[in-house]
Amino acid sequence: MLLSGNWIAVCAFLVWGLLPLYFQYIPNSNVFEILAIRVLFSIPFIYLLLKLVSIPSQIVWQAMRSKRTLLLCFLAGLFNCVSLYSFTWAVTNGQVLAASLGYFINPIFSIILGVIFLKDRLSKNQKAAVALSLAGIGYQVMYYGELPWLSLIMGGAFALYGLIKKFVNLDALSIMLIELITMLPIALFILFGEVWQGSSVWQSGDTTTMWLYLLSAPITLIPLLLFSLAVERTSLVMIGFIQYIEPSLQFLLAVIVFGEVLLQVKVVSFGLIWLGLLLCLADMTMKKPTLPPSTAG
């Protein structure tokens, strides 16, 4: 049970939900440099994991000969970077509630994409949860009179990331390694550009900040790895609902730890979304876990 895709997803989103506690120590950080460092230092880490679990590295090199696989992994990596940039900027600039809303919106995108492209079917509880979630978000939009663009970009990009991974017939680690390799030229361009301008964290002389930047790589990679494993083992619809754990934690951190103002409109909106989450969790616990689909390699 604990190794099912659903529960792996629960672990991933618990870790993601607590990430603002880490990023509070690097406020107003250079988000591009953080993401570039993450790509650079994650490649050897994922490669070592491949060796540890006895996945032949030849699988990766053979897969990279396929233009289709390279394109899909590049797109997945690009959408993940867009989502991570939005999230990291939000939590390092005092916008944890915006990050929370972004990941409340994301499951709706995931569910819609799963139904349209993967022919996933919704149970009665899941349909009710979608309706409650849309009502909660719609209430915020009506109250403020504008779309929450940062949250929409964050949630939409991550939903597309999860969808694209469904079309790559490889194990999760191999996919992640190819994603990172395709992002490497962009990461190196950013890092060299920061050094050229003299604004790199390596040139600041601040050892603490440098280590916080470096450690952000494994801290953000671990939940992403768990998420990738979950995508292999459960439906995009189910992942969409489980993801509500992450923004719920971020919501609580924003209000209790970071002291962001909680207006009545947000209480109503988030309350409707949480009710949908409870219906989803009830659905998940009542159903027996399904066997994971077979993957190449």
- The number of distinct structural domains making up the chain is 1
Domain span holding position 65: 5-286
pLDDT exceeds cutoff 80 at 196: yes
Q: How confident is the model at residue 296 (pLDDT cuts 50, 70, 90)?
A: very low
In whole angstroms, give the CA distance from residue 92 to residue 109: 25
Lowest-confidence range among 36-45, 80-89, 121-130?
Answer: 121-130
Which among 158, 178, 182, 202 is positioned nearest to 33, based on CA atoms? 202
Residue 164 lies in a domain: yes
Lowest-confidence range among 12-26, 65-79, 115-129, 281-295?
Answer: 281-295
Cα 30 to Cα 92, 194, 200: the distances in Å are: 9, 10, 9
Q: Are 250 and 21 in contact (CB under 8 A)?
A: no
CB-count exposure of residue 46 (10 Å: 0-12, 13-18, 19+): buried
Q: Can you give the pLDDT at residue 166?
A: 85
Residue 295 lies in a domain: no
Q: How confident is the model at residue 262 (pLDDT cuts 50, 70, 90)?
A: confident
Residue 293 lies in a domain: no
Q: Are 287 and 255 in contact (CB under 8 A)?
A: no
Residue 118 lies in a domain: yes
In the DSSP assignment, the letter for residue 202 is G
Mean pLDDT of the chain: 84
Q: Can you give the pLDDT at residue 288?
A: 52
Residue 91 lies in a domain: yes
pLDDT (mean) for 133-162:
84
In whole angstroms, give the CA distance from residue 71 to residue 254: 37
Residue 161 lies in a domain: yes
pLDDT exceeds cutoff 70 at 295: no
Which among 217, 170, 213, 5 is positioned nearest to 76, based on CA atoms? 170
In whole angstroms, give the CA distance from residue 91 to residue 27: 8
Residue 100 lies in a domain: yes
In whole angstroms, give the CA distance from residue 50 to residue 56: 7
Residue 296 lies in a domain: no
